[in-house]
A and B are shown apart, each in its own frame.
Chain A
Amino acid sequence: MKPPEPSLAKRLLAIAIAAAVLAFVYNRNADAQTVAAPAADPLPAPVKAPHYGDALFHFFQENWFGSLTGLMVSQQFTRIAPHDDEAEVLRGGLLLSWGLHVEAGEVFARLIETTTAASVRDRAWFFLAKIRYQRGWLAESEDALAKVAGVLPAALQEDRLLLQAQLAMARGDFAAAAVVLDALHKDPKASTVGQGYARFNLGVALVRSGEVARGTAMLEQIGSASMATEEERALRDRANVALGFAALQASDPLAARGALQRVRMDGAFSNKALLGFGWASAELKEPRRALVPWDELAQRDPGDAAVLEARIAVPYALAEIGAEGQALARYEEASSFYGSERKRLAETIKAVRDGWLVEGLFELNPLQKGQGMGWFASVGQLPQMPHARHLAPLLSGHEFQEAFKNLRDLRFVDGNLRDWLSSLSVFNDMLDQRRAAFTERLPKVRARPEGSGLAALAARCDAIAAELARVEANTDTEALAPAAERKALATMALAHETIAKAQAVPESAPAEDLAQAAERLRRISGALTWRLAQAHTARLWDAKKAQRATDAALAEATGRDAALERAQQEEPKRFDAFAARIAMLSQRLAALQPRVVALGSEQQAALQDIAVAELQRQQERLDSYETQAQLAIAQLLDRAQIAQRTRPARGADAGGTGQPR
């Protein structure tokens, strides 16, 4: 079971989602393929819709908001096919990445109902189970997990088993959790980190279910193993701390010390280990041995509760070994420190209430245009402010991280709406200009005195087509003759006529001359006729081609004219429709803006309340320690006075202070 580090759980969920989305998106035979370790990318399969690829382009750059809205627009325009199912899985993952787990749950639920692909349904059920678990709907989460019919890809399968174990532990069935985690522990394909967490959670589950020996042995295995990565070493430290405190609770301080001394001195759990080691030594009546780790601890960053406790543990040990003078001094020092720390906490609370924490966090995590924070990024650093260490415990708090991400997203959304507000006013201006231009120009074009002239042109085209048909049918070679040849034909016709007239009047010219002229004319006519015949086919083809081009141009012009006529009717309606849409969207935008601002203020106040609550808890803890210190001081002073009263009267002691040695 993963330790209570919600940010780590979220990161693993992100990896699982990214791996699943990639696996589904890129593996056509998803059931037959396994998902590689999260760090390795599967080979991309061809994207068959460029707009879907565009959504992926933004997704891979972790631009969740841009990818999501672009994908939704493309789905609206139905230009995602054939990637419809994959797009919905991607959309569900993107919704989750942007923190919209309710909506993501709805997407996966719909996918389950509508899709037939078993692999898609299984993944959707699994994500639904995770989402419901995150929201605290345990029974619903188990119900969804039970519906995963097949085997998921390796990385998801491991997560599935971990979730199954988490759900069993949540309902108190630690034995069932142990069975599931045992199976994972023995799985050679499970990741090293996954196995480590599985063994840790198994150990805890076994202890809680009463199998203390077996659970302790499991934790002991982790606590003494050699670990390669920092995450694994941190898990080992956690296991040793768990073992140490379990042994303390079982009144086995020797075993406790054995486990706690394996914790690294510079790790995240070293403070707890030092404190626990001191207690174990104190239990063993070895206050001098307890003093060593407590003294080391007392000098560390007082932001840790263990360090604060060490400040009164040290004088306790000193008192136990009889150094009551030193003990008194250290108690007084601790009391003074707690008083000063209380004041510093009050200053920090004031700074938080004045907004310094929030503004500092935004300086460290600035908004980027087009991107939200991403639900799986975490705030890892505190802003520069006085006594910022008081706020360190907040960084590991799920409630704080979620509250800040919400606030950051709300500020992002506020900027987004402001940008759209100015864009909408530009759209309105554009629409007004288009409407004005249209209203001015189109009637002028349509109302020309000669009209569009298309009817007359069409009539002429028809006449030409009919003429061409006649020419073709009658093989009228002269009809297509160019001007020069037509002139020659006319000249020859005149010559024919002239010769015929001359021949009718014998005395007009010598018969022989007329005969020669007639013969010459016959030859020339024949040559021209031959030429016309030769060229006729090509000319006819050219004429018909030109006629087709003319018909096409006329058809295009007719089409455009018809479009203009339609536009004259429809375009004003289109303008009105656009204007109505702009007005409606402006209303929605105007209604959302104040809600965003109000919710942002509320979220900021909630975030500050979380921080202040943590600081007040620290104040209460300090009060408790201070009370204990004061009590111990009083007891030591009482003891000193009693010792002085009961000492035989022989004058002042060597020190003259009245203080016990």
Chain B
Amino acid sequence: MNRWIRNVMALWALAACAAAGAQTAAAPLDIRVQDLKAEVMRLNRDLLVLEEELLFPANTQVALFVSMDVGKLFNLESVQIKLDDKLIAQHLYSPLEVQALHRGGVQRVYLGNLKAGEHSIDAFFTGQGPRLGGEGATARRDYKRGTTLKFEKGSEPKYIELRIRDSQQKLQPEFEVKVW
């Protein structure tokens, strides 16, 4: 039964062995791949910095962000933004993106250039509100909300955040604008 005992021990080792030993040190190939990926990552950072400085210099840069601070009352579907009456951004949201916003992510929806002076933003969002008829109901109320903001663009980058918030009193979503 020597063969069987040998097999028993081999399968015992295979079946019952805990990871008593740590994994072996990374092979040189793995290290080289990591080093290369790290270099590519740093190159990407430098390229993105160059791209931003070249295409969107700080003195003309304007960035628009969308965030949500809502509970379960509102399901965002789309956002549309006009700058000085010109449509500059519109976005249809995937469930994954909506979830990311719900979890506190902030979406940079537009990056562009603007000359100094007064400008105006008109932003609209659409979505679905609370279920009509309580729990178990499937129909939801459609919402469309908008906001207008006039702002002054100087020589510094301008960051504007469009926050979609719950109004717990009205049980409706509303826009809030934060100029950073």
Contacts and interface: CB of A to CB of B under 8 A. Distances in A.
User: Are A and B a genuine interacting pair, yes or no?
Assistant: yes
Interface of A: 1-4, 6, 9, 26, 41, 44-45, 47, 50-54, 56-61, 65, 68-70, 72-73, 76-77, 98-103, 133-138, 141, 166-167, 169-170, 200-201, 204-205, 208, 238, 241-242, 245-246, 248-249, 269, 272, 275-276, 279, 282-283, 306, 309, 398, 402, 406, 409-410, 413, 416-417, 420, 423-424, 427, 430-431, 578, 581-582, 585, 588-589, 592, 595-596, 599, 602-603, 606, 628
B112 interface: no
A605 to B, nearest CB: 10
A114 B157 CA distance: 30
Given A50-B180, A60-B100, A410-B33, A578 B54 contact: yes
Given A309-B7, A592-B43, A102 B31 contact: yes
9 contacts: A50-B63, A53-B106, A58-B105, A136-B26, A138-B22, A166-B19, A204-B16, A309-B7, A423-B51
B19 A9 contact: yes
B157 to A, nearest CB: 8
A53 B54 CA distance: 24
A60 B26 CA distance: 29
Contacts of B54: 427, 430-431, 578
A51 B40 contact: no
B35 to A, nearest CB: 8
Interface in B11-29: 11-12, 14-26, 29
A76 B26 contact: no
A37 to B, nearest CB: 16
B167 interface: no
Contacts of A402: 30
Contact of B15 (A98, A103, A201, A241): A241
A54 B23 contact: no
Nearest to A50: B65
B4 A279 contact: yes
Of B7, B34, B99, which is in contact with the most chain A CB atoms at under 10 Å from its CB?
B34
Contacts of A398: 23
A596 B41 contact: no
A50 B106 contact: yes
Nearest to B9: A249
B137 interface: no
Contact of B67 (A47, A417, A427, A599): A47
A166 B23 CA distance: 11
Contact of B44 (A69, A138, A238, A409): A69
B91 interface: no
Contacts of B50: 427, 578, 581-582, 585
A136 B23 contact: yes
Contacts of A241: 15-16
B3 interface: yes
A202 to B, nearest CB: 10
Contacts of B97: 57, 61
Nearest to B33: A406
A423 B43 CA distance: 13
B24 A100 contact: no
B8 A51 contact: no
A632 to B, nearest CB: 11
Which residue, B12, B26, B96, B107, has most C-beta atoms of chain A within 10 A?
A: B12
B46 interface: yes
A50 B108 CA distance: 8
Contacts of A595: 36
B20 A103 contact: no
Given A53-B104, A416-B44, A406 B18 contact: no
A505 to B, nearest CB: 66
A163 to B, nearest CB: 10
Given A4-B19, A170-B22, 15 more contacts: A6-B23, A50-B180, A52-B106, A53-B104, A54-B65, A61-B96, A69-B48, A77-B49, A100-B41, A134-B22, A136-B24, A249-B9, A409-B37, A430-B55, A585-B43
A160 to B, nearest CB: 16
A245 B30 contact: no
Interface residues of B, number: 65
Contacts of A205: 18
Contact of B34 (A61, A99, A582): A99
A427 B51 contact: yes
A404 to B, nearest CB: 12
B135 to A, nearest CB: 20
Interface string B85-123: 000000000001101110111111000000000000000
Interface of B: 1, 3-4, 7-9, 11-12, 14-26, 29-55, 63, 65, 67, 96-97, 99-101, 103-108, 159, 161, 180
Nearest to B43: A588
A362 to B, nearest CB: 17
Contact of A245 (B1, B12, B37, B39): B12
B106 A1 contact: no
A53 B101 CA distance: 9
B143 to A, nearest CB: 22
A581 B52 CA distance: 13
A68 B105 contact: no
B29 A57 contact: no
A59 B105 CA distance: 8
A246 B105 contact: no
A599 B36 contact: yes
A249 B25 CA distance: 32
B15 A238 contact: yes
B67 A272 contact: no
Contacts of A208: 20
Given A241-B16, A589-B43, A249 B8 contact: yes
Given A57-B106, A73-B52, A588-B43, A272 B34 contact: no
B16 A238 contact: yes
Contact of A276 (B8, B43, B46): B8
B104 A56 contact: yes
B121 to A, nearest CB: 15
Contacts of B101: 57
A272 B65 contact: no
Nearest to B39: A592
Kindly name the residue among B33, B50, B63, B161 whose own CB sees the greatest number of chain A CB atoms within 10 A: B33
B53 to A, nearest CB: 8
B26 A272 contact: no
Contacts of A283: 1
A623 B112 CA distance: 68
B12 to A, nearest CB: 4
B168 to A, nearest CB: 15
B12 A249 contact: yes
A134 B14 CA distance: 21
